[in-house]
Amino acid sequence: METVVRPAPAVASAVRPVDATKIAMAALAMFATLVVGLAPDRAAPAFFIIGLVASTLLVRRAFPAMWLYSLWLVALYVFTFIGASLFTFSAAVSGPSLGPVPILLAASLAFEVIALYIGLSFFAEIKSIRDFRTRLSIARGDKPPEYTRIGLWTLALIAFFAAANLSAVVFVGWVRGAGLLLPVHAGLEGLLIGIGMYLLMLPESAFGAPPEEFREGIPSPATFSSAEAGGSRKPTCPVCQGPLTWEVRHCPSCARTREVGWCPTSEVHVVDCEFCRRPVVYGKTVCPHCKTELSDALRCRHCEAHAPLREWKAAPAA
């Protein structure tokens, strides 16, 4: 019985360790931009814009795979801040009941709803990438399969939304003359920067760039598991893309059955790759999908025994 040595399979997207130095530089640039933005100096707006540009470039360097999601966080912050500011101003406005207050409240609600939508979309995007990579890992046969817990990350996203609202409320109080609230506002803004770094760092370190299939919106190729379960996406011949006929073969060790495809046009047997479960021509030495080395010994999924296809006897026709 031939033993197959499985090399590290090609991962759909390489995950590189995050560079702590680059992350620290991006965070420091954002903190410096925050300090400049709160300074009373007349030149502060110009330096603030320069700081924003520098921060964006450094964030892109620190998170090359996930930096675009920082724009989602910026949008979440902006809509949340505007919505909370309008709500706070509406509470402070004095006037008749049919004055500007209802308009401010309606605008506040609209901005908050948009912010919630952005936050939920961000959560759904990261969860989708995590789930997609987990399915790919299971298809490759990883033991244990890749799975990243995002519970703490989800709490951080909720905290980001809450801190942005609180920061806006404190900012309105400071603008209206409560000078003691400036340090509180600055502290909340610093907290938002730290949470934002974490919200980008976890998916950057755990996922890297989204897999090609996920990025292009391509569904996972049909596998033999879908065919054996009677699924609608049957594998086709890898040579001519024609339909396959199916043979039921018995494992020579435990007599359990499995399906083997036969292409009458190309006259080749088609089996599933032992590692990624995608259809390959029997006899190929390397899987064209996951680039893993193959052998002519098929593995039984029940008893784990390996045997060449010729030893898997065909079941008698019903």
pLDDT mean over 252-280: 82
Q: Where are the alpha helices (DSSP H) in the chain?
A: 20-38, 44-62, 69-92, 101-140, 151-175, 181-206, 212-215, 224-228
* 238 vs 215, more confident: 238
Q: Residue 318: pLDDT above 60?
A: no
Three-class secondary structure assignment of 192-229: HHHHHHHHHHHHHHHCCCCCHHHHCCCCCCCCHHHHHC
Higher pLDDT, 68 or 16: 68
Residue 13: pLDDT band with limits 50, 70, 90? very low
Please report where in the chains the tokens 């506040």 appear, as a residue: 108
Closest CA to 235 of 264, 267, 263: 263
Long-range CB pairs of 132-136 (<8 Å, 24+ gap) are 132/210, 132/211, 132/213, 132/214, 133/12, 133/207, 133/211, 135/220, 136/12, 136/211, 136/213, 136/220
Please say if the pLDDT value at position 41 is more than 50: yes
What mean pLDDT value characterizes the chain? 80
pTM: 0.64
- Residue 198 — φ and ψ, nearest 5°? -65, -40
- Whether the pLDDT of residue 116 is over 60: the answer is yes
**Once rounded to an integer, what is the mean pLDDT over residues 299-306?**
80
Non-local (6+) Cβ contacts of 178 within 8 A are none
Average pLDDT over residues 153-171: 95
Instruction: Place 156 in a pLDDT band, splitting at 50, 70 and 90.
Output: very high
The percent of residues above 70 in pLDDT, for the chain, comes to 79
In the prediction, which pLDDT does 240 show?
A: 83
- How far is it, in rounded angstroms, from Cα 155 to Cα 261? 48
Whether residue 258 is predicted with pLDDT greater than 50 in this model: the reply is yes
Quick check: 9 pLDDT over 50? no
Higher pLDDT, 179 or 80: 80
- Write out the two tokens for 53: 């540009």
Mean pLDDT of 263-290: 81
Residue-level pLDDT at 304: 78
